[in-house]
Chain A
């Protein structure tokens, strides 16, 4: 089922006056797509999801689920009449019921017959591997188990759209990674449209078909995970997803065969440059730590070379997190764990033009 959001706006009244939680937000989720709203807390992602669920009434705009308008200035469908399932951050498993009764609740509201209800509940519990614990009282579940029950409860009535509000943020790191894959596979198998809200960029990249990065109530960029990582279109996006080093500069030579030159305090960088950026424009060059080749000597054919001194290095197992002083600036680089560079070593950082992400500096 397709989800359309058009021109959505929501303002909250707070003690300090009016705050725009979301402004003029539009996006579209394809049927069967795993769509993620990613952003720091307070960016409006949860409000957007709650508008989709009908737990919040938007002030402007329209929401469509399938062909049906569920929210507009004149129409407002309450949550109990929307074709949705939802998983809450706190799971919201009702503690006065057993696992079975929690999952059976949506079916009871739809007046599903008792026999069918039992079958459907057991099927849903089987999906999340909780069949054996069906008759356990809810307070006796671990965090991961509660999460599975919440998922079963959201899926049991076969909703057309599944909404997930930071469902993994209360779990420990290991379980989180396990469940990440499990949920993704399950939703793929059921071919269900999902809208997922998270502040965890790794989670967003690992699970989503498409990600919208939100900040200040707006979507800054919407793309698939790979594009988002490799081609962020704004400083905030580059910074929020993965680590990045920034170099301020001016375009001194505009794009020729896709390569131009940006003049920075650390020297001239040969960069992959979009054609629209004119010579003389101010620009920000973003380079990921893993894009640097760090070595004691330089190769003559390198496109870009920086020279610096190792200031700090932290061994993290799968890589070495290295801070290198280049001129006035500290540059972070990721080195393979086998690297034998030590503190105070003079090193060269080499990088390809295609590793440079050139962002326009807006006035």
Chain B
């Protein structure tokens, strides 16, 4: 029993670990995280200064940087990325704030239903959203364009294509702006709910009318929440890959993420050194943004207008605007979910894609679905996808749980660094993580692990991508668990390990489960990491969908997409339940 004795030293955990001859556990954890996170990124940095293939470098050079900085396409991509993200974010903010206000504060009809529906867009993978809109707004064959042309023609504007073109910067902004709404809504809706209503009431008493109260009191008071949501949304837009892949590349529009994909996966010959330079520049840019984000978030916490009191703020009657408001919400839902899903569903029922029409209706069948079911690879693809989802979600959450426990509950000297290391990947776009892993595991010494081309490298990519989110979630969850609950277990004779399993973990199960489902949903939806790291033996659902689309098999790809959405919608609703349980606990 001496073993257990050495473990169980209170005050607490600092001393436990001290007994492990020099902080074994955080050491091991930090080591593992460094291995996962820092080593690939270091490899990326090194590769950016090397010529040739990362596995067989041909010496040190600055040529990659020179090439990059003399490439007009690089500046173009950088500019496009920033323009799309900036305008898209403004678009997102306007819609999300309007909906948060309508749903939380006004008497718009069906508000509860709207609250549930607003999460559904999360269940549509970005690539499917883009593909759906490609079918709707392609300049020649897009359904909406055909309808618009048939409207314009009698008016004396005969057109052969357009009038709208999704394969454009405008199209990308449109998609990006709509994609961000759910997240920003979730980030600001709490602030709308928790805001102290007496502040508005004071404004009304001070003779301000409703509009003045909103713009001069409500909105400024919410500014920190809005600002941090705005930067967060801007960061996500900067990292976005799926839309630019499906819409941008065919239209010849590059953003940073697709430029990396193109340089290291598509062009001939592939140029890893140049790709690494893009990756490094991209990462530095994101680090700067993230630094700003953290400062603003820290500042916003000082604002005390938003208290934990659970009051229901006064509902503002909007009178004749009630139904137009609902109409606007329905319109949003149709644009983000309804229209793309319907067109994909339509495409999935046809032998080859056709514009919806009565004649085409006679061709409708389930043949594509049957064909998918008969696909010999199907078994391994589904198995790979599920395995990847379970491994990535479980390892990410367990790692996050353990790291957070060390960060929150112990007084170890290295825990600040551990916290920083887990937050850092938040600044690294998925495509850069994938590129870094690719380079690290293609070249010695890590090459000899034989991980490249397996599911494990995909799992690593997802773990690194989501460890930041997962540790933030677990940190706040563990802080909520009163220390005495753990200490009571020690006093009752339980060892620390037993306490973690029997007391701490069950107590934060809702947060753990919410995080698990969140990661699982993102793994199912994720395109950038699987696409960058795919090979024959580790194909997952998303990659095979993209391959069909890329080969022009729109109908088969659509059928796969419909199946994927059918799995994601219930998962998203489960996640919503856990999120609601977590927030109920916090009160």
Contact = CB atoms under 8 A, between A and B. Distances in A.
Given A79-B8, A96-B506, A88 B488 contact: yes
Interface stretch (B10-18, B20-28, B363-371, B462-470): B10-18
Interface stretch (B173-181, B353-361, B373-381, B491-499): B491-499
Given A77-B5, A79-B8, A53 B491 contact: yes
A105 B495 CA distance: 12
Given A153-B492, A163-B491, 9 more contacts: A54-B491, A56-B10, A79-B490, A79-B491, A80-B494, A81-B493, A92-B482, A94-B489, A106-B493
Q: Which 6 A-B pairs have the closest CB atoms?
A: A78-B8, A109-B493, A92-B488, A106-B492, A92-B484, A79-B490
Interface string A132-162: 0000000000000000000001100100000
Q: Which one of B1, B7, B491, B506 has the highest number of Cβ atoms from chain A below 10 Å of its Cβ?
A: B491
Given A90-B484, A94-B485, A78 B490 contact: yes
Contact of A56 (B4, B11, B485, B489): B11
Interface residues of A, number: 29
A57 interface: yes
A57 B498 CA distance: 21
Contacts of B495: 80
B395 interface: no
A76 B492 contact: no
Interface of B: 1, 4-5, 7-12, 15, 482, 484-485, 487-495, 498, 502-503, 506-507, 509
A54 B12 CA distance: 10
Nearest to A56: B11
Nearest to B10: A55
A86 interface: yes
Contacts of A109: 492-494, 498
A143 to B, nearest CB: 15
Contact of B494 (A53, A56, A86, A105): A105
Nearest to A10: B11
A153 B492 CA distance: 8
Interface string A83-104: 0111011101011100000000
Contact of B484 (A78, A89, A96, A153): A89
Nearest to B482: A90
Contacts of B502: 105
B491 A94 contact: no
A169 to B, nearest CB: 13
A55 B507 contact: no
Contacts of B498: 109
A196 to B, nearest CB: 15
A110 interface: yes
Contacts of A105: 489, 492, 494, 502
A90 B509 CA distance: 22
Interface string A152-194: 0110010000010000000000000000000000000000000
Given A57-B9, A79-B8, A81-B8, A92 B487 contact: yes
B485 A84 contact: no
Interface of A: 53-57, 76-81, 84-86, 88-90, 92, 94-96, 105-106, 109-110, 153-154, 157, 163
Contacts, number: 85
Contacts of A90: 482, 484
A90 B490 CA distance: 16
A88 B484 contact: yes
A109 B493 CA distance: 6
Most interface-central of A76, A77, A154, A157 (chain B CB within 10 A): A76
A88 B493 contact: no
Nearest to B499: A80
Contact of A94 (B4, B493, B503): B503
A78 B488 contact: no
A109 B491 CA distance: 11
A79 B12 CA distance: 10
Contacts of A153: 488, 492
Nearest to B494: A109
Contacts of B491: 53-55, 79-80, 84-86, 154, 163
Contacts of A84: 491
B421 to A, nearest CB: 25
A307 B495 CA distance: 66
A153 to B, nearest CB: 7
B102 to A, nearest CB: 35
B352 to A, nearest CB: 55
A55 B490 CA distance: 8
Nearest to A110: B493
Contact of A86 (B15, B485, B488, B509): B488
Nearest to B498: A109
Contacts of B15: 57
Nearest to B15: A57
Contacts of B9: 57, 76, 78
B410 to A, nearest CB: 14
A86 B484 CA distance: 11
Nearest to A89: B484
A153 B485 CA distance: 13
Nearest to B492: A106
Contacts of B507: 94-96
27 contacts: A54-B490, A55-B10, A55-B12, A55-B490, A56-B11, A57-B9, A57-B11, A78-B9, A79-B490, A80-B490, A80-B492, A81-B4, A86-B491, A89-B484, A90-B484, A92-B487, A92-B488, A94-B485, A94-B507, A95-B507, A105-B492, A106-B493, A109-B492, A109-B494, A110-B493, A153-B488, A154-B491
